[in-house]
Structure formats: C-alpha cells, structure tokens
Structure 1
C-alpha cells in the first residue's frame, strides 16, 4: 500500500503545474488524502484509463449536473451511444470536407490578423478563433455571434477541472447557450442543415433514447471541451514555434510539420489530468485502489516518463512517440483527435507561408495547468514575410 505522498491538500497539489513532479519518484500510484489516488507513470496511466472498473460517471460531477447526460460523463452502453451520435461529425470524410471548405477561410483570417504584429495576449485574443469558428458552424451558430458564444463558453471550462468551480453563473451560461442554439436553429433557412441536426438524425436512425435537449446538451459539452482543448494547444504550438528550436522554414515540409505537432502534443497535452472513479476495488500496477476512490491520471506525467522517452523534457521532433497519449486512451479517448490534428497542421502550414519568423519576445515561463493547459506570460511577434522583402 503506498503511503501518503504529500501533506499538501490534493486540490492544491493538482492545481500546480507539472504536479506529478512533486510526488516521490520510484512509484507510479500515490495515495493522497480524501480518498484520492494520483497515477503518474506511463504504463500506470494507460492501465488506469483503460480499466473497465475505473469510470468517468459520478452522480456529483458538476458537468453532469450542469449538462445532464453527456458523452464525457457516461460509461458503457450510454457512452457508446453518445459517441455514435458524434461519429458523423468527426469521421475522416467529414474532416477532409472541413479541411477543404471550412478550415482554410478561418485559418487564413487568423494568420492575416497575426502577420506583422506582436502580442502578449495570444491565448485570449487569437487562439480561439479557429476552433470556435468550426464549432459555431457545426452547431449552426451565426458567425457574427462567435464572440458571444466564446464569452459564454470559456468560463464553463472550470466545470471540467478538479476541483470543480461551479457557480450560479456557470449554470446560467449553460442555459443561455442552449437557448442561443435553439434560437439559431429556429432561424435557419429551410433546406439548410447544421451538423447538430445530423446528430439528431443519427439518434433517430439508431433508436437512441435521448431527447432533443439532451442531444444538444451533450453536443455543447463535447464541443466545449474540444474548442478549449484546441485553443490551449494552439497557444502551445505558437509558443514552441516562437522558441526558435529550429528554422521556421523547415516546417514547410509536411513530414517535419507533422512530427513537430506530435512532439508539441507530447510535451504540452492540453488536458494534463483526467479524473476517474473506481467503482470496485482495483489494482493499478499491482497497487490496490479501494472502491469509491477518485483516480487522478496525469497525462503530462505519462508523456514525460523517462522510462518511455529518453530526455523526456527535451523538445525532439522525430523521436519515437510510442506511448505518447495526448488524447488519452481507452473508451474515453478523444474522438476528435483527427479533426484537431488537421486543424493544427493547416495552421502551422499557413503561418510558415505568411511569416518570415515567429519570435518569443518575452517569456515568464508560466503554465496554466488547469482549465486546459498552455504556456502563459509570454509575448510573441509574427514577422511579416512581405515586410522582410521590402
């Protein structure tokens, strides 16, 4: 039985960047206070996330209270049913269609707004533009309402944290977002169809017992998680491009670009910690975890495990990424991974085409470790390729 690893309150520990580094080395499963177990090693994290008796569902989770039945908080047949609803919007064919028709305009608009400027506010002012543009289209929201959608949605990210930050305002925001979606749907021109309606048709065809409001709630929560994950990771991506690890021009090569994105994903997974619950007594890497325990699995720790990745803190594109799990593993592994990677690769490609260089001009080396992890406290300059020629 592992001993208590720290006198620190678990909530305070998990709020610290790279919290797994503050636990004793040489063990992967740590018993903390308040019935919480922290899992940090790569093999242990993968085992915990794939274990059938370690589940996402818990009646007291704030996200379940705010959104009702949903894909993030369900397990077993209900979870499979929710994923089946989302599958049409996330298929390889649909993602290819997005890449042809939806993403280019959003990416070009963002890159055009960045070229030639320096900003210390990349995350708040720019990083959300592409993911929120995609999601507003999927949910049938008028693009002119994107900023309002973003302002209502971003505070809800704290519903997914451990510890949860739940307020009357977060519940009010959920209500307003669902009202907005319904209002936009009612205003849709006859013959137009959003992908939300595609999801509802899938429900009807498969005979899944969910009401329209439950479908909209789970779609909203899923895409909330997706947009905030993407916003955080786009911030990490730009930060790594600006650190000058190697020449920007090298990223014009698709293979190099893909390796770059994968290595940023390993080092800066936007979801650093996933909390699950043991419904029965289980063992993780030979350590007993009693039923009803909360299990905090560190994706960040798994992706920097020195037993799996040589020099794990070193940025090294092209390394073997076997064991890298930025999108988690098991039944709850992110179904939007292909959409996200396509979005990221296209953004890097367009930034390389438009900018002569991207430079971090100020760096306080800060990291937001909750509400979707990303570097903070930096300024970045996007040097305009056209200005250089002049």
Structure 2
C-alpha cells in the first residue's frame, strides 16, 4: 500500500478510492468487501468522505455502542445534520434513545410472542399451498411463486394493507426507499422517478382510514396516540414497519432457496434433520445479507481495533462484508447449515436489531417445512438474476425445478 493509500486522522489509517455504490460492485460486492476487510479495521473512503467498517468485530462494536455511533443523522449516505432528505426521518431506524426507545416500544408491543404463535397455522398453510403449486416438472420462479408469497400476502394482510394495488406497489416501494439511501447514481435517479407513482399509493395506506381495523397498522396508530405521537408520526411508524418487513424477508427467503438449490447435499441434510431450518435461514442471510449497509455518525472520538475515528465523522457499516469475515467465520464463503451462524449481523445487533426478526423466522420455517415435506430436490435450472439496489442485496428472478417427494 503506497502513500496515496493512507490518510492521517490523528493516526495513519488506510484510505481507498473504492466506490461501494458502483453498479459492478453492487452486482458482485464480495471482492470489494474483501479488499476493504484486508486493508484494515477501518478504511477511509475518499469518494464519500466516510469511514468503512468491513470487519465483523468493528461493525459489531459500532452496533453495540449507539451512544458513540448514533443513528439520528441518517442511516443512508445523506447526512441529515446538513442535508435535506427525500422523506421524513424514520422514528425507529434514524432515532436515538430516548426517542428510539419510545418508538420501539410502540412497534414492538404489536409483536407479542402469543400473537406470532396465533399466526403460525395460517402462515404454514399458505406456504404449503405455494410450494405444492410450484412442485412439478416445469420451471418456476422461486422469487415470485415462493419467496414473495408470505410477505406480500400474509405480512401485508396482518399490517392491514388492502389487496388492491398491493402486488404492484409494495415490492417497488422497498426498492425505491432503499435505493434513495445511496448517492445520486443511476439507481437513485430511477428510484426518484418510480417514487412519483409508488409513493402516493403508499402514503395513502399509512393512515387508519385505509388500514384494516385491528391490523398491525391500526394498532400502531392507537398505541402511538396513547403515548403522545401525532397522526403524522404514527404514519411514519407504520411506514418504517412496511419498508423493513417486506422486501428484506423476500430477499432472505430467496437467498435460502438459491443456496439450497446450489448445494443439494445441504438440502439433503435439511430433509434428514428439519430441526436445522432456522440454521439454514441464518446461514443464507449471513452469506447474502438483505441489508448490505447502514450508516452511523460518530458522537465522540472512538477507538476501533486500534484506530481512532474522530467525532463528527460518518461511518458506513458493511453488514455484507462483516458476515463473510474470515476472522469470525471459518471458510466464510461456503454455505453450511451445520454452522453456528447465529452471530451474523444480517438483523443488526443492539438496540436497533430488527424488531420483526421473529416474524421473518416464522416465515422461513413455514416455507422450509413445506419444502422438506413436499420436495425431494430443488434444482437450479437457469441463471439467477440479481436486482441491483444501493442498500439491499437480493434476487429478482430464481429459475427452479422442484421435484416431488415420494
């Protein structure tokens, strides 16, 4: 590494001209992630004037220290301290205690363990119907016909979103929202254009009069008002649940299908021991983290693995890189459902850990239960197509053949 690859911020640390938002990097981010991990525990990204944390230990340190690495200046590239945003600030994702604590209590109160158990039978039934319909000699799209079914149908039903317009607008909404977390690149411009048609429909369905009475969205409004939030703030809480709970789960389920099809011996192991279903899902989202990165801002000078990160600077936490760190995982690029992958950071960690992760696990269990019961094998019969996004990583299409079990 030459002199141009170092920068002094109280100490000499690596610097890089790498652009994590370049389209070819988004298409295959792992060589770039390896470069950043091996450069050092923290790396200065010259193009954006931010620090990159790519190692598991550094990312986890930041997630578990919200008083030092705070969220209220924005979790996308835009610095909300000095720049305007295309939307109002998220009251969950882009808030710090005590504001974050208050918002999380409202949203979290909807997802009581008993409620999740009450939903299991319906969700397992719908997953079984989807898998049963996909089994046979013909090629199917694993994304449209399996991975999307529970989030788009059951999650949206429980949230209280009406069926009409749902299939058209909900998948595009997450794509728009997460692309706008990045820089003004081609994907950002496309999202701004798509948002003109998607966002009016979404905004209309954030308020009680458009939500099913008694659904999660309606409950959030009632509980939010009870603790002092106004109508607009309650709608922002519903929006946060909608953007976080739909597309990320679709992408996680898609990655699980992809890896089980790519590694038939692992699918055989899962059929032999269905108790590994959660492990299989964890391993898939470790390898293909649906949310690849979020930003934080440094409240005070911080020591991270021997490097000083100055107060006021911004940091990008690269979950997709941390989850393949060989310092944490042996043979990290291999899909192994026998691995203890529960320490992955795909759901975040600390106070901002995904509030709906148990719902994602139930959906994964429902889909995998149907697969191991009905399918002797899952075969990849074409080239998977990835959908590029400034924040997310996930498939757009997954050609599969599902062979019926005897």
TM-score w.r.t. length of structure 2: 0.82
- CA-to-partner distance for each residue in 1:124-167, whole Å, 9 max, x for gaps? 56532211223322331233443134255243233453336262
Partner residue, 1:243: 262
CA 1:10/1:130 → structure 2, altered by over 3 Å: closer, same or farther? closer
Q: 8 Å contact 2:171–2:247 — kept in the other structure?
A: no
Structure 1 residue 80 and structure 2 residue 101: aligned?
Answer: yes
Q: How does 1:279-318 map to 2 (within 5 A)?
A: 279-318=299-338
Corresponding residue to 1:214 among 233, 242, 252: 233
2:143 is matched with which residue? 123
Kindly report which structure 2 residues correspond to 1:178-257, keeping only aligned pairs within 5 A, or say none.
178-182=203-207, 185=210, 192-205=213-226, 207=227, 209-246=228-265, 248-252=267-271, 253-257=273-277
- Alpha-carbon deviations, 1:175-212, whole Å to 9, x = none? 321213448637x5xxx42222222232244x2x3212
1:47-58 to 2 correspondence within 5 Å?
A: 47-51=61-65, 52-58=67-73
Equivalent position of 1:271 in the other structure: 291
Equivalences for residues 103-118 of structure 1 within 5 A: 103-116=123-136, 118=138
How many corresponding residue pairs?
379
Does the CA-based 8 Å contact 1:3-1:31 persist in structure 2? Answer: yes
Per the TM alignment, residue 4 of structure 1 is displaced from its structure 2 partner at its CA by 4.5
Assess if the C-alpha contact under 8 Å between 1:120 and 1:377 holds in 2: no
Between the aligned partners of 2:179 and 2:389, the Cα distance in structure 1 is: 15
Q: Does 1:22 align with 2:32?
A: no
Matches of 2:155 and 2:321, distance apart in 1? 30
Any conservation in 2 of the 1:111–1:351 contact (CA below 8 Å)?
Answer: yes
Q: RMSD of the TM alignment (CA)? A: 2.9
Q: Distance in 2 between matches of 1:196 and 1:106?
A: 22
Following superposition, the deviation at residue 121 of structure 1 comes to 4.4
Pairwise CA distance, 1:229: 0.6
Q: C-alpha offsets along residues 30-68 of structure 1, whole Å, 9 cap, x if unaligned?
A: 111132101011111111122222112226559964244
**Could you state the TM-score of these two structures normalised by the residue count of structure 1?**
0.86
2:354 is aligned to 334
Bigger drift between 169-178 and 92-101 goes to: 169-178
Distance 1:92 1:183 in 2: 24
- The aligned counterpart of 1:356 is 376
Change (3 A) 1:107 1:37: same
Write the deviation string for residues 72-106 of structure 1: whole angstroms up to 9, x where unpaired. Answer: 111111111111111122222221112133x1343
1:41 and 2:55 correspond:
yes
Q: Does 1:93 align with 2:106?
A: no
| 2:24 corresponds to 1:6 | no
In structure 2, stretches of 5+ residues that fail to align are 1-10
Cα pair distance change 1:244/1:71, threshold 3 Å: same
CA contact (8 A) 1:31 1:37 kept: yes
Cα deviations by residue, 1:329-353 (Å, 9 ceiling, x for unpaired): 1211111111111110110110222
Structure 1 distance, partners of 2:35, 2:140, is 30
Distance 1:260 1:267 in 2: 11
Report the counterpart of residue 346 of structure 1 in structure 2. Answer: 366
Equivalent residues of 1:120, 1:380 under 8 A apart: yes
